[in-house]
Amino acid sequence: MLDVALKVLKNIEEHGFKAYIVGGFVRDYILGNATNDVDICTNATPKEIKDIFDNITLPKEEYGAVRLDIKKCRFDIMTFRKEKTYSDRRRPIEIEYIDDLQEDVKRRDFKMNTLCMDKDGNIIDLLDGKRDIDDKMINTVGDSIVRFIEDPLRILRAIRFYTTLDFDLSHEVRDAILRTKSELSRLSYQRKKEELDRIFCHNNAKRGIDIIIELGLDKELELDFSKCVFDTDLIGIWASIDVKGNYPFSKNERDLITKIKKAMTLDNLDNRVLFKYGLYVNVIAGSLNGTDRKAIANKYENLPIKAKSDVNITTNQIMGLLELEPSEKIKEIYDDLINNILCGKVLNNYEDIVNYLISKYK
């Protein structure tokens, strides 16, 4: 990944421009963490970058950024700039292209994200970001209160880095979050959910949720963590908290959360529940209500059938056997058969199934 990134820098510089890797990639490189996303800053404009590379997209041209994809690696290339004013506490409505790396890094959120790397792999530390990485400390660039009011998403980014990097919040950052947390209400639910997803899906999620509660961000985020269960996955955490805000879950997420909450009220070791909701939903529900995961997995593995397609007779065969026309009655018979197979009262072979259907329904 680094080799490809350095070649991109050299290519840009061969065309007469300056270019540096900046931000999270350099931070993670120092920490030994792998990433496939690279931010590059340059004094070339988006249109000049487009003249250099063929496979460029311009999703954010108005903000001085272009996207380059090479060998399954993604590069966001941004022109040196100043951001003058913000319209929605997230995106600047006015920017100024500049030719000054130090001025460009001053607009970044945290000092640890201001480190740069040149085409030869040399680290450039203009704002003492390396010290914060060594100290595992999160400090903003400039006044923390100003930076959080300027863009409240930085509050959640600070919590994410606190979680995923296992860094600490400086006293100034912690105090600024307490004083500006009401600004989170200005963010869209989409932006809040994106950051919360990154926190919840990490194996250190409990640390992030604990600091959210400690700083009172849960109320600003309209989330109640009083029944939260940490020993689960992203969907499991969302299913275990009371979501009061209008967060934009996908249809699949909503379906899974609804099923998990329903399965939590049932016996996750019951064959019929296992069959109806499947292994994943029951394992997550079991994690939330205290049922042993291995016991659920073992019970599921030994089910006589795991899907309707496993039943050794079709609805057409049932209709022929019982001389019935298609109707709701067929569904009732089929569901009854499945329940009896799951309960062990009928073996899942054609002969036993036929004997049961004839004895009960003919």
Give the contacts of 265 (CB within 8 A, at least 6 positions apart): none
pLDDT at 72: 77
234: helix, coil or strand? helix
306 vs 50: CA distance, rounded Å: 53
Sign of the CA dihedral with 20 first, then 21, 23, and 28 last: negative
- CA-nearest of 91, 90, 206 to 155 is 90
Q: How buried is residue 106: exposed, middle or buried, by Cβ count under 10 Å (0-12/13-18/19+)?
A: middle
**Virtual torsion, Cα 233, 238, 241, 243, nearest 10 deg:** 170
Please name each of the domains of the chain with its CATH number: 1-135 (3.30.460.10), 136-248 (1.10.3090.10), 252-301 (no CATH), 308-361 (1.10.246)
pLDDT at 35: 82
For the residues of 250-312, what is the DSSP string, one character each?
-HHHHHHHHHHHHHHTS-TTSHHHHHHHHHHHHHHHHHHHT--HHHHHHHHHT-S-SSGGGSS
pLDDT at 283: 96
In contact, 305 and 341? CB cutoff 8 Å: yes
Tell me the pTM: 0.85
Q: What is the pLDDT along the chain (362 residues), one digit of tens a residue?
A: 788 899 999 999 999 999 999 999 999 999 999 887 899 999 998 889 999 998 887 764 455 689 888 877 889 999 987 665 545 555 555 555 555 788 888 889 999 999 999 999 999 999 999 999 999 999 999 999 999 999 999 999 999 999 999 999 999 999 999 999 999 999 999 999 999 999 999 999 999 999 999 999 999 999 999 999 988 999 999 999 999 999 999 999 999 999 999 999 999 999 999 999 999 999 999 999 999 999 999 999 999 999 999 999 999 999 999 999 999 999 999 999 999 999 999 999 999 999 999 999 88
7 vs 141: CA distance, rounded Å: 29
**Virtual torsion, Cα 62, 47, 113, 103, nearest 10 deg:** -90
107 vs 101: CA distance, rounded Å: 11
Structure tokens at 143: 């006044």
Sign of the CA dihedral with 226 first, then 232, 234, and 240 last: negative
- CA-nearest of 130, 63, 96, 146 to 104 is 96
CB atoms closer than 10 angstroms to residue 71: 9
